[in-house]
Amino acid sequence: MMVLPFVGLALNLRFGPLPSHDGIAILSAVAGAFVAERQVALHVVPGTGGFGSTLLGLHFYTLALIAFVALIVGLGVLLLGDGVLRAERRADNGGAGRFGAACLLLVLGVVLANAVSAAEECGTGLCPDDPTRYEALDSWLGHAGPR
């Protein structure tokens, strides 16, 4: 879910800023916010505790909800500015330039690293509720451990 809003932002970098690209990012962020909010709601019940590590005292799903809402608000503000905040189109159809291309490569690298990590942790099946080892990596290396 975290990757989907980047599709709209990547389209803006590649083809120039358009409201339809921002719409893709906003709709993706709304879907991500719903998923993150559901996870937050699951852990609001007293006694359930949180899941996973925290950063600045907040769990990842809470930070994800904050990031999705911030993206929705930020893109909404940009859309309100319409022509004022819109970058001028270039002759090459609004290409990303070196900085934009570097940002896209960084996002793609993070997505690829996350996919590899998830594949190593979960193997070909469902990810365990509280992972304590890398399922696929252990099976490739011939290690067997408790679940």
**Residue 80 vs residue 146, higher pLDDT:** 80
Q: Do residues 20 and 89 share a domain? A: yes
pTM score? 0.65
Encoded tokens for 33? 């916010």
Q: Do residues 141 and 89 share a domain? A: no
**Residue 38 vs residue 124, higher pLDDT:** 38
Q: Do residues 74 and 102 share a domain? A: no
What percent of the chain shows pLDDT beyond 70? 68
Q: Do residues 108 and 137 share a domain? A: yes
- Residue pLDDT, tens place only, 35-64: 989 888 887 777 776 666 677 877 788 888
Domain range for 46 is 1-95
Q: Do residues 22 and 40 share a domain? A: yes
Q: Do residues 138 and 87 share a domain? A: no
Q: How many CB atoms lie within 10 A of CB 94?
A: 19
Looking at residue 8, what is its pLDDT?
A: 85
Number of structural domains found in the chain? 2
Q: Do residues 140 and 117 share a domain? A: yes
What is d(CA 9, CA 30) in angstroms, rounded to the nearest whole number?
15
